[in-house]
């Protein structure tokens, strides 16, 4: 093992995922000067936060027509306030590894906005986590959560702790230490975390258990994504991947098309990817790729989702193992799946994993729709290329909103001490994804950009947040 495994990972992982520069240099020519100044302030205040700047730039660029139609949002300082989190918590997470050595990780929770409800958003455990990543995710979460139409604010958190290769006992000790600090900032009416990269059912169990022990409260609605045996909602596990496929289906339906017979490229092989693959099969498509941080597999017979789950979820092994056990598949090391000719792409691994060059390859190969399962997986250049080529493009804020929307359903069930069936819950998810699609589609049309789901999702989410902020005064 290298002397500093975390430094080694930071050095290699992001390079694989940075297909091009994502530095944002464009001016925001269409927005009011005061909003351009807000962006300049963000750049000056947070110069070391490129992902946060990228996320802010995209939203500000999209909402120019909203600000023109609603001068009260500009006068009310909505944008100035939104780019500054309500609260940021940074903390030390000391823990002891299996060899008895002390390790110190860094913990984060950025509580961006509680204007629509308790702070809500996942926790990410990955060595690349830093304040820029958590702030970009928390900022996106404000508008995504507003778009769902449910009463949930926006937040994100996590740690630079790397769960890969750690024993269950190490994961548990880490989660307990993480919660020893974070518990005081959480609660079913205050802040309700869930999973994200590196945080699944196992981690949520340990985090919830420690919260319960420290507070002496079985407060089931303080975390979502819990096991279905102890307060978790049916369909929460499947919701983000299923929802992304439902969103693709809605976009295609606007053009009289469907998923039937389509070839689909999915990236990632975690929670979102696995259930996107499963739902794509159920709707008559053939998902042909999956990936992880080591490379991708292409399987012309279609991805065997049970085998993928065995390898990635149960064995926590590498994706190359899939090709080793499946004669129709091959493994391509150190690369992403965007060279494979497909009709539909569902990037479901991480931010900036699909660059402009990848987008051009997908377009040349005939891609018709892209639904983002991950948060901000497409770079700004890739988004522009898809839109210029008239490819249907569903941004993460809309396309992956099914996960957090089903978290809100879990909170409702916990509050009412009810349990809804799998089928009822999936029907609700299906309806929510249609409503999210329609809200984005309608807002795009209202603001003069028909078919532009980026403008539509950002505008519809922003409108809801801005009205609530104006009503609630200068907070």
Active site residues per annotation? 156
By CB under 6 A, tell whether 345 contacts ligand NDP: no
Q: CA-to-CA distance for 395 and 343, rounded, in angstroms?
A: 17
By CB under 6 A, tell whether 358 contacts ligand NDP: no
The DSSP code sequence of 373-440 is: -SSS-B-HHHHHHHHHTT-EEE-HHHHTHHHHHHHHHHHHHHHHT----HHHHHHHHHHHHHHHHHHH
By CB under 6 A, tell whether 272 contacts ligand NDP: yes
Q: CA-to-CA distance for 242 and 52, rounded, in angstroms?
A: 27
The distance of closest approach from Cβ of residue 133 to ligand 2IT in the complex, given in angstroms and rounded to an integer, is: 12
Which partner, ligand NDP, ligand 2IT, none, binds residue 224 by CB below 5 to 8 Å per kind?
Answer: ligand 2IT
The distance of closest approach from Cβ of residue 80 to ligand 2IT in the complex, given in angstroms and rounded to an integer, is: 25
- From the list 47-55, 65-73, 191-199, 320-328, the region that binds ligand NDP by CB under 6 A is 191-199
By CB under 6 A, tell whether 193 contacts ligand NDP: no
Question: How distant is the alpha carbon of residue 409 from its chain centre?
Answer: 18
Q: Figure out which of the listed residues 54, 145, 375, 378 binds ligand NDP, where binding follows CB under 6 A.
A: 375
- From the list 55-63, 78-86, 204-212, 347-355, the region that binds ligand NDP by CB under 6 A is 347-355
Question: How distant is the alpha carbon of residue 108 from its chain centre?
Answer: 17
Phi, psi of 336 (to 5 degrees): -110, 160
What count of other Cβ atoms lies within 10 Å of the Cβ of residue 94?
A: 12
Residue 182 corresponds to which tokens in the numbers above?
């974070």
Length of the chain: 475
Contact 367, 394 (CB under 8 A): no
Contact 89, 78 (CB under 8 A): no
Separation in Å, CA 381 to CA 342, 376, 425, 455:
20, 12, 37, 16
Residues near ligand 2IT (CB under 6 A)? 120-122, 194, 196, 224, 375, 403-404, 407
The distance of closest approach from Cβ of residue 374 to ligand 2IT in the complex, given in angstroms and rounded to an integer, is: 9
Q: CA-to-CA distance for 386 and 69, rounded, in angstroms?
A: 27
Q: Figure out which of the listed residues 197, 305, 332, 469 binds ligand NDP, where binding follows CB under 6 A.
A: 197
By CB under 6 A, tell whether 320 contacts ligand NDP: no
The distance of closest approach from Cβ of residue 407 to ligand 2IT in the complex, given in angstroms and rounded to an integer, is: 3
The distance of closest approach from Cβ of residue 404 to ligand 2IT in the complex, given in angstroms and rounded to an integer, is: 4
**Bridge partner list, 158:** 108, 124
By CB under 6 A, tell whether 123 contacts ligand NDP: no
By CB under 6 A, tell whether 127 contacts ligand NDP: no
Contact 400, 377 (CB under 8 A): no
By CB under 6 A, tell whether 292 contacts ligand NDP: yes
Q: Interface residues for ligand NDP in 386-405 (CB under 6 A)?
A: 400, 403
Which partner, ligand 2IT, ligand NDP, none, binds residue 120 by CB below 5 to 8 Å per kind?
Answer: ligand 2IT
Strands 369-371, 344-346: pairing kind: parallel
Nearest residue (beta carbon) to ligand NDP: 270
Nearest residue (beta carbon) to ligand 2IT: 122
By CB under 6 A, tell whether 458 contacts ligand NDP: no
Q: Interface with ligand NDP by CB under 6 A: which residues?
A: 13, 17, 126, 128, 195-198, 200, 240, 268-273, 292-293, 348-350, 373-375, 400, 403
């Amino acid at each position: 093992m290298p002397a500093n495994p975390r430094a080694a990972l930071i050095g290699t992982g992001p390079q694989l995922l940075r297909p091009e520069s994502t530095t944002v240099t464009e001016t925001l020519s269409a927005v009011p000067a005061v909003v351009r100044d807000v962006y300049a302030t963000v750049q000056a205040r947070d110069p070391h936060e490129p992902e946060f700047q990228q996320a802010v730039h995209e939203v500000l660029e999209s909402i120019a027509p909203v600000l023109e139609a609603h001068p009260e949002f500009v006068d009310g300082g909505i944008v100035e306030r939104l780019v500054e989190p309500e609260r940021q918590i940074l903390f030390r997470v000391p823990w002891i590894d299996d060899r008895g050595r002390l390790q110190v990780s860094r913990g984060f929770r950025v509580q961006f906005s509680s204007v629509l409800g308790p702070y809500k958003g996942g926790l990410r455990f990955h060595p690349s986590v830093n304040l820029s990543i958590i702030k970009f995710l928390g900022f996106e979460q404000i508008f995504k959560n507003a778009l769902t139409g449910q009463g949930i604010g926006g937040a994100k958190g996590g740690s630079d702790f790397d769960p890969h290769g750690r024993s269950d006992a190490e994961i548990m000790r880490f989660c307990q230490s993480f919660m020893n600090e974070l518990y005081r900032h959480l609660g079913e009416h205050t802040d309700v975390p869930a999973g994200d990269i590196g945080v699944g059912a196992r981690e949520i169990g340990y985090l919830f258990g420690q919260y319960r022990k420290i507070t002496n409260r079985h407060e089931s609605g303080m975390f979502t994504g819990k096991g279905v045996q102890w307060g978790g909602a049916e369909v929460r596990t499947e919701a983000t991947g299923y929802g992304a496929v439902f969103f693709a289906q809605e976009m295609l339906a606007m053009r009289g098309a469907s998923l039937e017979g389509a070839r689909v490229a999915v990236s990632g092989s975690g929670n979102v990817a696995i259930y996107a693959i499963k739902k794509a099969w159920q709707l008559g498509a053939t998902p042909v790729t999956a990936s992880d941080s080591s490379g991708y597999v292409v399987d012309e017979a279609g991805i065997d989702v049970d085998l993928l789950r065995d390898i990635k979820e149960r064995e926590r092994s590498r994706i190359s193992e899939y090709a080793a056990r499946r004669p129709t598949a091959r493994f391509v090391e150190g690369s992403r799946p965007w060279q494979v000719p497909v009709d539909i792409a569902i990037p479901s691994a991480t931010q900036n994993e699909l660059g402009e060059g990848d987008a051009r390859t997908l377009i040349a190969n005939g891609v018709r729709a892209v639904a983002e399962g991950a948060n901000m997986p497409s770079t700004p250049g890739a988004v522009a290329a898809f839109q210029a080529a008239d490819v249907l493009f569903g941004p993460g804020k809309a396309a992956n909103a099914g996960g957090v929307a089903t978290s809100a359903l879990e909170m409702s069930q916990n509050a009412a001490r009810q349990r809804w069936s799998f089928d009822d819950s999936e029907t609700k998810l299906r309806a929510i994804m249609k409503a999210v699609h329609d809200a984005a589609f309608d807002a795009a049309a209202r603001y003069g950009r028909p078919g532009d789901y980026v403008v539509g999702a950002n505008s519809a989410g922003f409108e809801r947040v801005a009205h609530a902020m104006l009503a609630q005064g200068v907070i």
